[in-house]
Amino acid sequence: MFEAPLAERMRPKTLEDYLGQGHLVGMGQVLRRSIEGGQVPSMILWGPPGVGKTTLARIIAEQSERPFHQISAINSGVKEVREVLAQVSKSGMFSGRAILFIDEIHRFSKSQQDSLLGAVEKGLVTLIGATTENPSFEVIPALISRCQTYVLQSFTEEQLKLIVQRAIASDALFSDLQVEVKEWEALLRSSSGDARKLLNVLELLVDHSVEDVLEVTNALVKQVVHDSISRYDKKGESHYDMASALIKSIRGSDANAAVYYLARMVAGGEDPKFIARRLIISASEDIGLANPTALVMANETFSAVERIGMPEGRIVLAQCVVYMATSPKSNASYLAIARALEEVEKSGDLPVPIHLRNAPNAWMKNQGFGKGYSYDHDALDQFSGQEFQPEQIAGLTYYEPGSNPKEDAIRQRQKALWKSKYGY
């Protein structure tokens, strides 16, 4: 029995053995020059699962002869970070040279990421953060500005094959076993481009082998790892990639692509309520007043899948996805709240016009609260034309109706009511 999995045993120890990422660690490339020159900056390593982020961090520490501290943002927090920083600070001689590697750094909250700033800024540690998510969205700007961001690329098919061949040629697991890969397709697909997963699948095939000869075929891989063929990890990058592709297909009015990505998520075992929540957001963000019924449909879809569950819930989800993809589109409401929030940030806490304020008691009435307010239902066509925004920003426009039949009608009504005030 082996104490460590095959993937761990095959982890490269030097840059010479490190496979891939030639644009970063190839001869003469930027990161390799930093490592060899001993000037290792704090950095964020961004790339899909299993492309060597952790391995590269370890190699950097080894080749630069620096103490290496590793924590995972999944099960660690500020307490663990402070413990490492205190340990480094006490060591004295290694202060400023120690590497703090944080795996899945995007899972740290803003306050947890804030706890790293002082140590990185003062040079107490060299931070290496690994993430499968776009750091510009998931890592706070203050931390990104103090780090170099390096993008790691997926392994090519040839590199994945080389990883398998290296393992077969060098690991003791295969010392008494003759392995021949007759068909590569299913084996490579089962890995989803993840070298760690690829070696785990290979090890699983060996565990199921009862002969001295193992012939790897598509049929054998599908039989042994039948649930690994679909490239979908509902806890990893694909979870968000598929959701993004689904919503963008709906936004682009491509019902066929939208149903395909829905199928990918369903086949991968995604939580149907997660899908339904995304549909609710898209119904307002991407369809909005061009078809207000889309929001009703999305809400009912959430309720339906919550009541009936899966697999029948897939039918309800499909109906909603097709309906939304084939609906006219408008992001006018989405843009309106964005513009309004921008104005709030710019102009601050402007006072509510006194005629719009409540006057629940005599004192407030005496102060003029509510004075001059016109009750619109008493006005002609239920429209008084009074001013509602604070005086300093009167007339600013946030909502601009989209170009679709429903919002064209809204534009005409707003123009008839407000004339040229809001530019309709």
- Quick check: is 287 in a domain? yes
DSSP 92: -
Is this prediction's pTM over 0.75?
no
User: What's 209's domain CATH number?
Assistant: 1.10.8
Considering the domain architecture, whether residues 113 and 162 belong to the same structural domain is answered as: no
Considering the domain architecture, whether residues 215 and 254 belong to the same structural domain is answered as: no
- Domain extent, residue 343, equals 332-418
The alpha carbon torsion through 188, 193, 195, 196 (nearest 10 deg) reads -100
Q: What is the pLDDT along the chain (424 residues), one digit of tens a residue?
A: 566 888 889 899 888 889 888 898 889 888 888 888 888 889 999 988 889 999 999 999 988 888 899 998 877 788 888 888 888 888 765 556 789 999 989 888 888 888 888 888 888 889 999 998 888 888 889 999 999 999 998 888 999 999 999 999 988 888 888 888 999 988 888 887 889 889 988 988 888 777 788 888 888 888 887 644 444 555 555 667 888 899 999 999 999 999 999 998 888 778 888 899 999 999 999 999 999 999 999 999 999 998 888 888 899 999 999 999 999 999 999 999 999 988 888 888 888 888 888 887 888 788 888 888 888 898 888 888 888 889 898 989 999 898 899 989 988 988 888 888 888 7
Considering the domain architecture, whether residues 263 and 179 belong to the same structural domain is answered as: no
Q: Check: CB of residue 147 under 8 Å from CB of residue 127.
A: yes
DSSP 378-415: GSGGG------S-GGGTT-------SSHHHHHHHHHHH
- Contact residues for 157 (Cβ-Cβ < 8 A; gap 6+): 184, 188
Handedness of CA 280, 286, 289, 291 (dihedral sign): negative
Of the three residues 94, 124, 151, the one that is the final residue of a domain is 151
Q: HSE-up of 365 (CA within 13 Å, CB side)? A: 3
Ramachandran assignment for 127, one of left (phi > 0), alpha (psi -120 to 50 degrees), beta (any other):
beta
Q: For residue 261, what are the CA distances in angstroms to 234, 247, 254, 312, 361?
A: 13, 9, 11, 17, 58
Give the tokens for residue 186: 């299913």
Of the three residues 199, 228, 257, the one that is the final residue of a domain is 228
Is 331 buried (19+), middle (13-18) or exposed (0-12) by CB count in 10 A?
Answer: middle
Considering the domain architecture, whether residues 290 and 408 belong to the same structural domain is answered as: no
- Measured in degrees and rounded to the nearest 5, phi and psi for residue 76 equal -130, 165
User: What's 266's domain CATH number?
Assistant: 1.20.272.10
Considering the domain architecture, whether residues 296 and 399 belong to the same structural domain is answered as: no
Considering the domain architecture, whether residues 214 and 275 belong to the same structural domain is answered as: no
Of the three residues 296, 325, 354, the one that is the final residue of a domain is 325
DSSP 116-160: HHHHHHHTSSEEEEEESS-HHHHS-HHHHTTSEEEEPPPPPHHHH
**SS3 call for 343:** helix
Considering the domain architecture, whether residues 140 and 176 belong to the same structural domain is answered as: no
Domains: count for the chain: 4
CA neighbor of 85 nearest in space, from 99, 105, 72, 74: 99
Give the pairing of strands 126-131 and 43-46.
parallel
- Quick check: is 373 in a domain? yes
pLDDT in tens, 288-320: 999 999 999 999 999 999 888 888 889 999 999
